Amino acid sequence: MKFVFWKAYHLESRSIVDEYVRLILPALSEQEVVVCESDDDAAREIADADVMIGWRITPPVFASAKRLRWVQFGSAGLNHTMFPELESSDVVLTTLSGVHTTVVAEHVIAQMLALARRLDTALYLASRHSYDRSKIASQASVLRGKTLLIVGLGKIGSSAAQLAKAFGMRVVGTKRTLPANIAGVDGVFAPDKLRDLLPDADFVALLAPLTQETNALIGRSELALMKRGANLINVARGAMIDHDALAEALRGNRLAGAALDVFPTEPLEPDSPIYDLPNTVITPHTAASFAEYAPLGAEIVRQNVAAFLSGGEMVNVYDRGRGY
C-alpha cells in the first residue's frame, strides 16, 4: 500500500512539520512511503497512492490520483482545501480535530485578558517609548463578572468556557446539537438564538467551524446588536466577519476592541486596512500553533493508520453533510 506524505509550511514551522513526519513514519514501516515537498512531486506520486497525509490537497493534484482512498489532514477544518471534486468524491477525509483544543482555548483567554487590560495600547505606547498610564487606566477592565458568549461550543469552545469560568465570568454559548449541560456554561442555545444573545455579551468569541450557516455570521446588523463597549474575538475563520462593518464599529467606539487571529485573505497583506483598526489585537493565525503540535497530532494519525490498515474505525472523519 502506498502512502504519500505531502509537506507544507504555510502555518506550521519547518521544524514542527519535520518532527511530525518523523513521528508518523514508524507506523508506516511496512508500507511504501514517499515524502513530497513540491506540488509537482505530489501530483506525480499521488497517481498510484492509496493514502495522502498532509495539510492541503489541490484540484490538480487530486485529479492525478487514480486509486486514492483516504486523506489525513493536519488541520481541524478543511474549508481552506475543499473544492467540489473532493467534496463529491468517496475518498475518506480525516482531520486533527481535538489536537488544538487546549492551545486555542488558552489563546481565547489570552486575547480577552489583552483586551481587558488594554495590552494593545500598552504595546503601542512601549513601541514609541511612551510611558502614559492615563491612556490605559481609563479603559482597563477585568474579566470577573463579565459575560462571555461563545459561538460554537465544540471541544475548543467547551474548554474555553471552563477556563473563563475560573476567572469568574458568566458563560453562555451556541451549539448545533443541544446537550443537557456543558461544564462551565450557564446557558446553551441553538445557533438561531445568536441575535438574542449578542446584546448581553461583554465578549463574543467565534469558535464555530466555517459552514454555509456561519459564513458572514457577524455583519453590520449583528455588530449593532452588541452592547456598546463589548469586544469581539475571532479564532475561527476570517470569512465569518464583515471586516468593513467591524472597522466602522471600532472607529465609531461602538466596540471597545477586537482580537483577530484569522482573516478573509491570508497571509494578511502589509497594506491591509485591518492593521490600522483601533483597539485591535492581531495574531497571524497562530491561535492553534504550539511546539507540542507534532507529538499530539502524530498520535492521532498513527491511530488512524492502524485503524485504516486493519479495517477499523478511524477518528475525526469529516462529515460532508455538516461541513466539518
Query: Taking the chain (324 residues) in consecutive chunks of 10 residues, what is each chunk's mean pLDDT?
Result: 86 82 96 95 97 95 97 91 96 95 98 96 93 92 98 96 98 89 93 98 96 95 97 97 97 96 94 94 94 94 98 96 87
Distance in angstroms (rounded) separating the CA atoms of residues 279 and 250: 7
Contact between 300 and 96 (Cβ < 8 Å): yes
* pLDDT for res 164: 98
Secondary structure (3-state) at 61: helix
Q: Which of 154, 13, 157, 156 is nearest to 74 (CA)?
A: 13
C-alpha torsion angle, residues 16, 264, 110, 114 (rounded to 10):
130
Q: Nine-digit cell at 76?
A: 481541524
Packed helices 119-127 and 101-116: angle between N→C axes, nearest 10 degrees:
70
Find the farthest-apart pair of alpha carbons in the chain and give their distance in angstroms, rounded: 66
Strand order in the sheet with 70-73: 32-36, 2-6, 51-54, 70-73, 92-94
- Domain ranges within the chain, ordered by starting residue: 2-99+290-310, 101-282
- C-beta of residue 8 within 8 angstroms of C-beta of residue 53: no
Main-chain dihedrals φ then ψ at residue 22, nearest 5 degrees = -60, -40
Q: Grid coordinates in use for 108?
A: 481565547
Place of cell 471586516: 243
2-99+290-310 homologous superfamily: NAD(P)-binding Rossmann-like Domain (3.40.50.720)
What 3-state class would DSSP assign to 267?
A: coil
Beta partners for residue 280, in sequence order: 258
Residue 24: name the closest of 3, 47, 10 by CA. Answer: 3
Q: Which ranges in 117-228 belong to alpha helices (H)? A: 119-127, 134-137, 155-166, 194-197, 220-225
Helix, strand, coil percentages in the chain from 3-state DSSP, rounded to 5: 40, 15, 45
Q: Rounded CA gap, 62 and 68, in Å?
A: 9
Q: Do domains 2-99+290-310 and 101-282 have the same CATH topology?
A: yes
pTM value is 0.90
CATH superfamily assigned to domain 101-282: NAD(P)-binding Rossmann-like Domain (3.40.50.720)
Strands 255-260 and 230-234 come out as: parallel
Determine the residue type at 5. F
* CA dist., res. 214 & res. 56, Å (int): 22
Q: Which residues pair with 189 in a beta bridge?
A: 174
Instruction: Classify strands 203-206 and 92-94 as parallel, antiparallel or unpaired.
Output: unpaired
| Residues 201 and 226 sit within 8 Å (Cβ to Cβ) | yes
Task: Give catalytic residue positions.
Answer: 237, 266, 285
The 10s digit of each residue's pLDDT in 81-118 is: 999 999 999 999 999 999 999 999 999 999 999 999 99
For 170-182, the pLDDT digits (tens) are 999 999 988 768 9
Residue 181: predicted pLDDT? 83
Contacts of 123 (CB under 8 A, 6+ apart): none
Written as one string, the DSSP assignment of 302-319 is HHHHHHHHHT-PPSSB--
Q: In residues, how long is the chain?
A: 324
